[in-house]
Chains A and B, each alone.
Chain A
């Protein structure tokens, strides 16, 4: 019995049962009394636990009802001050929205594991290096630490001839069948490649991206019966990859099998343009894979039929988890952005805390009355936190809207190489994290006001608000500290944005070494069937140049295999007799094949000797023009004219240097100039690249010129696809896209932080003026000038901004270290930025106090002193 009795009255009840037992025995006899006792025990055993359950659930329910009541109360309270609520919610929304955007990007690029099965087992072998197929083939046969190792090259353009409509360019990656195996990807439809499909003479199959399948193939299962004609070669479509599959790049439309042809050592060993990916066996570490790979170094060195690399040529090789390898280059910029939004959020917290404090003060009287009537400090603090939580949730809702809108703006500008760029969005994961951020924001912003509410001295508040003004000294101090902190954070961001903006300007000011004004460019994919016939190709190129030259919309016209800031590069290891004989030390030079008019059309100056001529054709002596950098690097202090260069393969003929032209930048304005040599297109042909690039001067509108290029190409042969119709400026601009995006985002964050900081300064100044109305009134009555009063308010505003500004400059010193890798032509501690920012800050702060200062001078002493002010 004892155990079933309620704890509170256990002994009391036992005693009562004793009495009742005696009476029962006396009245009804022992048997009946026992039955009674059993009944009572059972009753307590069953009914009391039920009762206890009812009591707890009622309490919980009441707690919930209480919460809902309080919530309703809070919402109603906020609705009564729409101005305050709107400002607070907008502020929070900006901070929360910015964080949602950047977190969404960072999550996809850095945090989320790759969308592959057991993705932690997928590694990049030789991270940061490209390798040849021979290496991959030998590793395939030898590695025991991996279950599959495959190769893929970077996406390249091919001409697709659809059954209907004009030819167009598609982006094609060549991958070995084991590449898909290593990734573990499962096709959405159909199959991937069988191992034997990379054998010479096989192939003829292709898989396509889900996006290509939907847009170009109708998105039906019937697509699997179709074929793709790429550069004149038919490929059966065997599979569709899953949505968003972006290996090796998000740009790919089509994947075809590589050809593993050991009988062609020039390609097998000489084409080092592949990256290799492996799937580690369960329980294996990247270090173990690396160890095993390195054991093949000597084998590989001696097996190379083209040349013998130096011992230790794999020194520094790395095996890295694929996710890490893909994200490495974006880590720096993303860290900067993440830090920047975190700073914005802190500014937002400080700002909202300040708003809440002012509101707390405005409500001071009401709170004080309630406090005096016995509302506990805890309850008032809870109310305050509830209020900031409600504001944060509203801020979350608006912030997410803001974020989704900003993401739709930003997404097209995200670099294609950013892992997961296409999928960046507000998925549940991002929303949940953002909600968490919002809650933390509510807590941080609401904490100070809550503590203050809990500690509030009712008597003082009643007295003060009775007089209609006068915050406590400590509150004023808190507010000032918060404003200073905001200003400091804003300064750090403004400095960072300033440095990046200056980098951008510096980059835009870099002379690329050629003229881009009214120059247009386009890629022309030659008609299929010409790849095996250099003579026919040469005729076609001549016809193309002639056709384009005839168009009145085009001035000078030139053709090239590759151009500076084009989408493809060609490098050539170059023998320079008398400079180096060691095949391992061959200089790599940029290599362009161009028509003679190229230098004139692109405005590249001829410095010495002659340029290329129409007479430099197949059959005439081989010639090249080198750029200034090439000449200075390999023929320092000598005359390069008449010197010989040679391609690296055995029996390659001599090429005579006949001229020197000015150096150009090639793909990145921030890069150093690279040694370059130019050879005649008519003599060397297009080489492995199956398309020509047109560069032409527009005589009128660039768009008309681009239209003319398309029309003339189609007029010549409508099986030729034209792509990348771009003004040359656009190509240069595109190379700055990453830097520009970073600068714009940081600038937006900086301006936001600064604006919020100024709101803070304004708030404090306005409050201070209101507080001192009587004092100002008295002084004006005593004859103080309005100019003097105005100056004083302005000075006070500035003084408010200065400590924060100084602190910000001090903090910016170490903070800009994060930016170091992103800057160009500007020092991390750039004096111009570090001097300009305090000036901007002072200007902004002055602007913020203009209104309060003006209001101060409008004080009517009579009104104020009567006490109605």
Chain B
């Protein structure tokens, strides 16, 4: 769990945040992850990952009025520029690793 390392759930959570854009608070993030990965995940795990990402400076959060929906303030999360840079580096690394493996592993979609 080194400072610059990016864990799998961290990676996925950041991507989920980007998908959710302005609507990224805990409950939808969990649902987004579940629907996109098809894997059960707990709120606790996601919450902890979010706190860690915040510590690392890749994600920031703020308390905001939920808008037209009404109700109390919610903590909304967003990926920071550092976070985006980190994701880009991760993608490049994966791309480089994937390069030349299409024949072995297939294209990865609908295989």
Chain A residues packing against B (C-beta within 8 Å): 6, 9, 11-13, 15-17, 19-20, 23, 39-40, 43-44, 47-48, 51, 54-55
A51 touches B45 (CB 8 A): no
Give A43 to B42 CA distance when docked, in angstroms: 7
A selection of 24 A-B contacts at a CB cut-off of 8 Å is: A6-B47, A6-B51, A9-B47, A12-B63, A12-B72, A12-B73, A12-B75, A13-B43, A13-B47, A15-B74, A16-B27, A16-B43, A17-B43, A20-B30, A39-B42, A40-B42, A40-B44, A43-B44, A47-B45, A47-B48, A48-B47, A48-B48, A51-B51, A54-B1
- What does the 1/0 interface line of B10-22 toward A look like (CB < 8 Å)? 0000000000000
The verdict on A9 contacting B43 (CB below 8 Å), with A16-B27, A20-B30, A51-B48 known, is no
Give A17 to B1 CA distance when docked, in angstroms: 28
Give A358 to B4 CA distance when docked, in angstroms: 42
Closest chain-A Cβ to B77's Cβ sits at a distance in Å of 11
Residue of B nearest to A44 (CB): B44
Asked if B100 is at the interface of the complex by the 8 Å CB criterion, the answer is no
Asked if B80 is at the interface of the complex by the 8 Å CB criterion, the answer is no
B72 touches A15 (CB 8 A): yes
B27 touches A19 (CB 8 A): yes
The listed residue (A11, A20, A51, A55) touching B43 by CB distance below 8 A is A20
B47 touches A11 (CB 8 A): no
Residue of A nearest to B30 (CB): A20
Q: Which residues of B contact A51 (CB under 8 A)?
A: 48, 51
- Given contacts A9-B75, A47-B48, A48-B48, could you give 11 more A-B pairs where the C-beta distance is less than 8 Å? A12-B73, A12-B75, A13-B43, A15-B72, A16-B43, A19-B27, A20-B30, A39-B42, A43-B43, A44-B44, A48-B47
Closest chain-B Cβ to A8's Cβ sits at a distance in Å of 9
Asked if B25 is at the interface of the complex by the 8 Å CB criterion, the answer is yes
Closest chain-B Cβ to A36's Cβ sits at a distance in Å of 9
**Interface of chain A, main secondary structure:** helix
Interface size on B (CB < 8 Å)?
20
Q: Which residues of A contact B1 (CB under 8 A)?
A: 54
Q: Which residues of B contact A23 (CB under 8 A)?
A: 31
Give A17 to B45 CA distance when docked, in angstroms: 14
Give A40 to B41 CA distance when docked, in angstroms: 9
Asked if B67 is at the interface of the complex by the 8 Å CB criterion, the answer is no
Give A32 to B63 CA distance when docked, in angstroms: 31
B72 touches A11 (CB 8 A): yes
Find residues 42-92 in chain B having any chain A CB closer than 8 Å to their own CB.
42-45, 47-48, 51, 55, 63, 71-75
Give A17 to B47 CA distance when docked, in angstroms: 12
Q: Which residues of A contact B73 (CB under 8 A)?
A: 12
Closest chain-A Cβ to B75's Cβ sits at a distance in Å of 5
The listed residue (A12, A15, A19, A48) touching B44 by CB distance below 8 A is A48
Q: Which residues of A contact B72 (CB under 8 A)?
A: 11-12, 15
Closest chain-A Cβ to B57's Cβ sits at a distance in Å of 15
Residue of A nearest to B75 (CB): A12
Closest chain-A Cβ to B44's Cβ sits at a distance in Å of 4
Give A182 to B31 CA distance when docked, in angstroms: 84
Give A55 to B72 CA distance when docked, in angstroms: 29
B25 touches A16 (CB 8 A): yes
Q: Which residues of B contact A15 (CB under 8 A)?
A: 71-72, 74
Q: Which residues of A contact B71 (CB under 8 A)?
A: 15
Of B1, B30, B43, B71, the most chain A CB neighbours within 10 A belong to B43
The verdict on A43 contacting B45 (CB below 8 Å), with A13-B26, A20-B27 known, is yes
Closest chain-A Cβ to B64's Cβ sits at a distance in Å of 11
Residue of B nearest to A55 (CB): B55
Q: Which residues of A contact B26 (CB under 8 A)?
A: 12-13, 16
Q: Which residues of A contact B45 (CB under 8 A)?
A: 43, 47
Closest chain-B Cβ to A144's Cβ sits at a distance in Å of 72
Give A294 to B9 CA distance when docked, in angstroms: 88
Closest chain-B Cβ to A114's Cβ sits at a distance in Å of 57
10 residue pairs, one from A and one from B, having the closest CB atoms:
A43-B44, A43-B42, A16-B27, A44-B44, A16-B26, A51-B48, A47-B44, A20-B27, A19-B27, A12-B75
Closest chain-B Cβ to A45's Cβ sits at a distance in Å of 9
Q: Which residues of B contact A20 (CB under 8 A)?
A: 27, 30-31, 43
Q: Which residues of A contact B25 (CB under 8 A)?
A: 16
Give A55 to B30 CA distance when docked, in angstroms: 23
Closest chain-A Cβ to B1's Cβ sits at a distance in Å of 8
Q: Which residues of B contact A13 (CB under 8 A)?
A: 26, 43, 47
Give A13 to B27 CA distance when docked, in angstroms: 9
Residue of B nearest to A41 (CB): B44
Q: Which residues of B contact A12 (CB under 8 A)?
A: 26, 63, 72-75
Of B27, B45, B74, the most chain A CB neighbours within 10 A belong to B27
